[in-house]
Structure 1
Amino acid sequence: MPIDLYMNIRSTPCRSVLMAIRQLNLEVNIIETDPRKQETSTPEFLKLNPQHTIPTLVDDGFPLGESRAIIQYLVSKYAPNSGLYPTHDLKKRAHVDRLLYYDMSIAYAIRDAIFIKVFRGEEPHENAVKNFKNNFNVLNDFIGNNKYVAGNELTIADISYLGTISSLAINDYKDLDEFPNVKNWFFRLQKELPYFNEVNGKVPELLKQLSAPKK
């Protein structure tokens, strides 16, 4: 029985979950859901997710929201020994968790420093720009010389960050130029993971459709 995934391809967290599903080779029934049309506020949807957010997963009758929790759940259930979410080394698992939480800081930094200008036509506050650089410098240090975000093996932290950072396609990824470790990691994984373009290929065009008119 396939998994139901309520999602919208414009949503960064939704793309992260879909990439995790592709990585695990799971069957999925994608249910296109648009919050702008109040499709996450219907009584039926609220029974699944009172937060009325996407992505929302339903697996064998079990509903779950929040992208990182969904990814953790899917790997724990369907690939517990894959190394994507370490089970035998508590320290490695904790490091992956730490990076997943830090991904939220990266997402907020992109929203406050990049999206406010792209989608609202407003110049970001200088503190938002500073915070963006500080957060990406930390991520740059986390990656260092590693092949992947959490070390030398692919984990769900990589998948989550890929979804988040793919939104920088709106500026053709020029915002990564100051962070060489992040940039090299990101473009290498684009080529390494066969599903990346399938999930994210239309993102630049879709985001530009939503961008504010240039003054």
Structure 2
Amino acid sequence: MSIIIYQTSVSPPARSALMVVNILGIKVETREVNLPRRDHYSQEYLEKNPLHTVPILEEDDLVIADSHAIITYLVSKYGEEKHESMYPKDLKIRAIIDQMLYFDATILFPRLKTVIYSVVRGQGISREQTADIQEAYDVLEIYLSKNIFVAGNEFTVADISCIATLSSLDCVLPVDKKHVNVNRWWATLNKEKWYKEVNVPGLELFRSFIKQFL
């Protein structure tokens, strides 16, 4: 039984999956998906994931093509007792974590994706896009004004998803100092081994890529 993760480290969702792998200390095979070469549009890839997105997790006959589903699956299956708080069995706590995973999936990441497409196409960042990103920062600030982490006072998989996206958004539109709690939360996470070993290298690649269009 082996786990294969198709990924590219410039991708925030791929980084979130690999950060969880790092935390859990599990062995996986990673396969680089070359986006400029359009590997994700190959027939083989599309058979696994018709949405042609990264990452994909493949384990025997199981294929998961969403980073949020991947990280909850990995923690649920391979997490040890010390990882329990990352995605607890308690349904009420899990619902709050899921809520913040959906916040990343429906608010943070779509706003990053939209602005990347705009910038790469030479259209720049519109006022509406700027306002949307600032609104996302404002909402995250409210969540973090009540808790240490995004889904409560324990570190969870939702923090991993959100920080992968937020740190990438910051490359396009920096998080303002007024977002005190967002910056405090980020400063806490960026001290961690998994953040330094996985997110930082991928984030630098993303920053270099996007910088050429700004």
Match in the other structure for 1:135:
136
Matched, 1:12 2:12: yes
Q: Which amino acid in the other structure matches residue 61 of structure 1?
A: D
Deviation readout 1:86-131 (Å, 9 max, x if unpaired):
212x221111111111112012233445x46754443422222222
Output the CA distance in 1 between the equivalents of 2:174 and 2:46.
39
Distance 1:106 1:178, change over 3 A: farther
Match in the other structure for 1:103:
104
More helix by share: 2
Output the CA distance in 1 between the equivalents of 2:2 and 2:180.
39
Deviation readout 1:53-95 (Å, 9 max, x if unpaired):
210001233111011011111112112751211212x221111
Identity %: 33
SS in 1 for 2:26: coil
Output the CA distance in 1 between the equivalents of 2:188 and 2:135.
23
Q: Which amino acid in the other structure matches residue 156 of structure 2?
A: T
Equivalent residues of 1:6, 1:55 under 8 A apart:
yes
Output the CA distance in 2 between the equivalents of 1:94 and 1:206.
31
Equivalent residues of 1:3, 1:28 under 8 A apart:
yes
Task: Give the superposition deviation at 1:25.
Answer: 1.1
Output the CA distance in 1 between the equivalents of 2:13 and 2:176.
20
Equivalent residues of 1:15, 1:200 under 8 A apart:
yes
TM-score by length of 2: 0.87
Task: Give the superposition deviation at 1:207.
Answer: 3.0
SS in 2 for 1:36: coil
Match in the other structure for 1:196:
195
SS in 2 for 1:45: helix
Q: Which runs of 5+ in 2 are unaligned?
A: none
Map 1:1-215; keep pairs closer than 5 Å: 1-79=1-79, 82-88=84-90, 90-104=91-105, 105-112=107-114, 115=116, 119-168=120-169, 170=171, 174-191=174-191, 193-202=192-201, 203-213=203-213
SS in 2 for 1:157: helix
Output the CA distance in 2 between the equivalents of 1:117 and 1:50.
23
SS in 1 for 2:30: strand
Equivalent residues of 2:119, 2:125 under 8 A apart:
no
Distance 1:58 1:125, change over 3 A: same
Equivalent residues of 2:8, 2:34 under 8 A apart:
yes
Deviation readout 1:149-179 (Å, 9 max, x if unpaired):
11111111011112111214535x8324231
Q: Runs of 4+ in structure 1 displaced over 6 angstroms?
A: none
Q: Which amino acid in the other structure matches residue 199 of structure 2?
A: N
Indicate the RMSD between aligned Cα atoms, in angstroms.
Answer: 2.2
SS in 1 for 2:187: helix
The more displaced of 21-30 and 204-213 is 204-213
SS in 2 for 1:21: helix
Equivalent residues of 1:112, 1:124 under 8 A apart:
no
Distance 1:86 1:128, change over 3 A: same
SS in 2 for 1:44: helix
Q: Which runs of 5+ in 1 are unaligned?
A: none
TM-score by length of 1: 0.87
Equivalent residues of 2:143, 2:150 under 8 A apart:
yes
- Counting matched residue pairs gives 210
The more displaced of 136-145 and 94-103 is 136-145
The more displaced of 96-105 and 198-207 is 198-207
